[in-house]
Structures are given as C-alpha cells and as structure tokens.
Amino acid sequence: MDKNLAVLIDGDNIPSAYIKEMMEEIAKYGNPTIKRIYGDWTNPRLGKWKNVLLENAITPIQQYGYTQGKNATDSAMIIDAMDVLYSGKVDGFCIVSSDSDFTRLATRLREAGMQVYGIGERKTPNPFIVACDKFIYLEILKDQGEEEATDTDKSKPKTKSKVDKITAKDLRFMANTIDDVADDDGWAFLGDVGSLLQKKQPNFDARNYGFQKLTPLINSIPHFEIERREDSKGRKKLIYVRIKEKKNSRSSKS
C-alpha cells in the first residue's frame, strides 16, 4: 500500500522548471495526497509557477513578506507541516527547498515517526540534507529527463556514464558499508548495502554518478564483484556484492 505524502514546496526557493521531474520522483515514494506551494503570489518572480500549478494540482498558499529580510514563507510552511502532522492524514513528508531553515522541521517530523524526503538543488546546506531520511538533488532529475529524451532521439549522442565521478572517498564509503553488512565470506546482500548507504548518507544516489540504479553502479567499479543467486523458492535473483580484495585476504587465512 502506498504511503500518503504531504508535499510542501518553498516557491521562493525552487525553480518551476523542475516540476515535471520532481512530481514523477515523488510518486516513487508514495501518493502525494497533499500538495502545497508557498510564496508571495503578488510577486512577479513567481509568475512561472502560476502556469504549472493547475496541471499538477498543487494548491498555492499566499504568504506576504511582512518584514524585509525575513522569510515569512518558511514560517508558513513550518506551521502547516505541524498542522498536517497532527491531523494524522499522512505517513510522510516531501519538503522541497534548498534552505537550511527546514533542518529542525525535518528532524521534528522524523522524531514523530514520519518518513521525510528532502528535494532541493545541489547548493542545499548539509545540515538539512542529513536531517532527512533521503535527499534528492533536483539537478539529477533534470539530467535524467534529458538523458531519456536523448535515448529516444537517435540523432543526438547518448550521454556517457560518469564513472569518473567516483572519488577515492566515495569508494571508501561504499567499501566500508559493504564490509559492515558482509558475512564471514565477505558477501553482502545488495539490498542491505543500499539501505545502509542511505541511512549513513541521505543524499547518496546512484544517479549522482550517472547510473539509474545501485547495481550497475557497483558493477562498474573494478574493486567490487557481484554474484546473482536464486532465492529459496527460485522465483527471483538476489544480488550479492563483495570487495575483491576481501576474497584474497580471507582465502589466505584459511
């Protein structure tokens, strides 16, 4: 059963150009039963948002900027989020903003047992990112949409996988996580690895490296090896991963 989600968008902070990819991404995590966007709709700067609200069934919430230099939109979003929380109508929240002012809100919602998804641009400060269960960069959603369009247009060159984006730090992070959940032979169920990667680093996403899923990302790294096994009923393949160096070190001990 899909989770019911409240989607709260900081209209002052998020460009409308991301709307299509953003709503498609949110649908992966649950049913967006509440969709609201906050801003001063008398401001011409929000004009582009007005054109896409109706077709995406997003309710605009008017919030005047009462004091110069103060963001009244943030306060309105936070108050509404708490009202929605206490209504008991949703199982989780999508907070769409690149503003660190929502860090405490995300923390408070998780304390109440809510699943919190953050969505924002790469400029989002780390405190807000780590306060969420999962954080998705808007830029990778846009890149993904453009790659899909390129794939259907044979006249355009296909985007290459960005394996070169994997740094030594990224490699250590993935290797340590595999080791954390590995059995005595060094094998780790990839589903457990993916869950722990997300818990450790909410903005971890295979798409940051040019891959749609974790399996092809791991498979592209020479330091790791993958094994596909049938489940006990033989109905599906389970994917396990091991650090290649571990294979040699463990076999030398036996």
CATH code of residue 247:
3.30.420.610
Give the per-residue pLDDT at 73: 77
Residue 152: inside a domain: no
Are both 29 and 130 inside the same structural domain?
yes
Name the residue with tokens 């092809």.
Answer: 216
**Number of domains the chain contains:** 2
Are both 63 and 124 inside the same structural domain?
yes
Residue 158: inside a domain: no
240 contacts: CB under 8 Å, gap ≥ 6: 187, 188, 189, 190, 226, 227, 228, 229
Give the per-residue pLDDT at 150: 44
Are both 242 and 129 inside the same structural domain?
no
Q: Which domain holds residue 236?
A: 163-253
Give the per-residue pLDDT at 42: 87
- pTM to 2 decimal places: 0.83
Report how far residue 85's alpha carbon sits from residue 2's, in angstroms, rounded to the nearest whole number. Answer: 18
Low-confidence ranges of the chain (pLDDT < 70): 1, 65-72, 144-164, 234-235, 245-254
Task: Give the CATH number of the domain where residue 97 resides.
Answer: 3.40.50.1010
Are both 204 and 78 inside the same structural domain?
no
Determine how β-strand 31-39 pairs with β-strand 4-10. Answer: parallel
Are both 36 and 119 inside the same structural domain?
yes
Give the per-residue pLDDT at 213: 93
Are both 236 and 171 inside the same structural domain?
yes
Residue 156: inside a domain: no
Give the per-residue pLDDT at 68: 52
DSSP letters spanning the chain:
-PPEEEEEEETTTS-GGGHHHHHHHHTTT-EEEEEEEEE-TTSGGGHHHHHHHGGGTPEEEE----STT--HHHHHHHHHHHHHHHHT--SEEEEE-S-GGGHHHHHHHHHTT-EEEEEE-TT--HHHHHTSSEEEEHHHHHHHHHHHHHHH-TTSPPPPP-GGG--HHHHHHHHHHHHHH--TTS-EEHHHHHHHHHHH-TT--GGGGT-SSHHHHHHT-TTEEEEEEE-TTSSSEEEEEEEHHHHHHHHHH-
Are both 138 and 212 inside the same structural domain?
no
Residue 195: inside a domain: yes
Report how far residue 109's alpha carbon sits from residue 172's, in angstroms, rounded to the nearest whole number. Answer: 31
Are both 120 and 237 inside the same structural domain?
no
Give the per-residue pLDDT at 21: 94
Give the per-residue pLDDT at 65: 65
